[in-house]
Structure 1
Amino acid sequence: MDQKQLIKNFNRCIDWEDKYLYIISLGEKFARLPEALQTKQTAIYGCQSQVWIQVQVEQGKVQLLGSSDAALVKGLVAVVCLLLQDKTPKQLLETDIKGIFSELGLQQQLTPARNQGIEAMVKSIFKQVQALEMA
């Protein structure tokens, strides 16, 4: 699923309850980082819940796998990963996640702590992608 499809599906949701259920379903479907990879190296600090995201570059495209111990956060991990993966590192680093979350209404709907968690996820992904680019 790409960014356009995600936004299209999200906008089809009738109300916020429907949107939250959609986010949770995305987490069940796409946030599949195996437990063996849920380590200190993949942990994202700054989130209320436990979050892990693995970043790799394969054939010039960023691949992301993530998970969380909380259903809604797992869905938000999936949203972030879906918005950023399968891009070149340059494209990923130019992606305005805050703008997309604002367009979806998520930035306004989520608590400040959840928004800080998303910011921590994105910063960590960007930092890891930059490090992989320099390696």
Structure 2
Amino acid sequence: MDPEELIDNFEMLGSWEERYAYIIELGREMPPLTDDERTEANRVRGCMSQVWLVADDDPGKLVFRGDSDAHIVRGLIALLRMLMSERSPDEVRALDIGDIFGRLGLENQITANRRNGFYAMVERIRAMAAERAAS
């Protein structure tokens, strides 16, 4: 999804309660990872919640999936998938997630610990993109 489209969608939702509900709904719509994918190797360090990210085999682009034990974090994973999955490794590395995160208003709406976890997920996704580019 184009970042501007996501930002426009967020702006159409008035209150933060509606925006949180939207994020949580995005997470609910995401298929869960299997128990075999919820491994220590796939776990993202730096998150308060349990978070797992896996990259699928797709030549030329990064396609990833994720899961969490927290509803809001699953929604944040869904947002990252909308922005960063199905892109080339160069596109993933070039995307200014911090800017998008701020323009969505999330920078001021989630706790510092959740924000740190969010950026830990971003770094893991960028690492997966770098691995994809190297192979």
TM-score norm. by structure 1 comes to: 0.92
CA contact (8 A) 1:7 1:104 kept: yes
CA contact (8 A) 2:44 2:120 kept: yes
Instruction: Tell me the amino acid that sits aligned with residue 119 of structure 2.
Output: E
CA contact (8 A) 1:48 1:114 kept: yes
Number of residue pairs matched?
135
CA contact (8 A) 1:57 1:132 kept: no
**How big is each residue's C-alpha offset from its partner over 1:81-119, in whole Å with a ceiling of 9 and x where there is no partner?**
211011111001000111100000001111110110011
| Pairwise CA distance, 1:35 | 2.8
Question: 1:81 aligns to what?
Answer: 81
CA contact (8 A) 1:24 1:72 kept: yes
Instruction: Tell me the amino acid that sits aligned with residue 22 of structure 1.
Output: Y
Aligned-CA RMSD value: 1.5
| Pairwise CA distance, 1:8 | 2.3
| Pairwise CA distance, 1:32 | 3.0
Structure 2: gaps of 5 or more residues: none
1:1-135 equivalence runs, <5 A: 1-30=1-30, 32-56=32-56, 58-135=58-135
CA contact (8 A) 2:61 2:132 kept: no
TM-score norm. by structure 2 comes to: 0.92
CA contact (8 A) 1:31 1:74 kept: no
CA contact (8 A) 2:62 2:85 kept: yes
Secondary structure at the aligned position of 1:58 is classed as coil
| Percent of pairs with identical residues | 36
| Pairwise CA distance, 1:56 | 3.4
CA contact (8 A) 1:46 1:116 kept: yes
Could you tell me how far apart the structure 2 residues matched to 1:84 and 1:57 are? 15
